[in-house]
């Protein structure tokens, strides 16, 4: 299964020297939310309990990433 969560445009936006840190953090938050949605969909459609646990773990990691992004972003204000 190959379903890219990050597009070439996402990569370009995250690595552009023309974008400031705040813009990159906003994009990172958008991508974390996209990942959570993807993993939630996978978890909800999965019947295998071990696979469900994997997706739950990935969702928790994405949530942790969001908290880190918010923490860094709050220092910019």
pLDDT of amino acid 76: 87
Token digits of residue 2: 């190959």
CA–CA gap between residue 60 and residue 20 (Å, rounded): 27
Q: In this predicted model, what pLDDT tens digit does every residue of 11-49 receive, in sequence order?
A: 888 899 999 999 999 999 999 999 999 999 999 999 999
In this prediction, residue 53 has a pLDDT band, given cuts at 50, 70 and 90, of very high
| pLDDT beyond 70 at 67 | yes
């Amino acid at each position: 299964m190959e379903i890219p969560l990050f597009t070439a445009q996402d990569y370009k936006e995250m690595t552009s020297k023309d974008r400031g840190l705040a813009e990159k953090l906003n994009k990172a938050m958008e991508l974390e939310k996209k990942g959570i949605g993807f993993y939630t969909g996978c978890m909800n459609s999965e019947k295998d309990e071990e696979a469900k646990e994997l997706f739950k773990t990935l969702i928790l990691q994405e949530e942790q990433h969001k908290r880190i992004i918010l923490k860094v972003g709050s220092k910019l204000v």
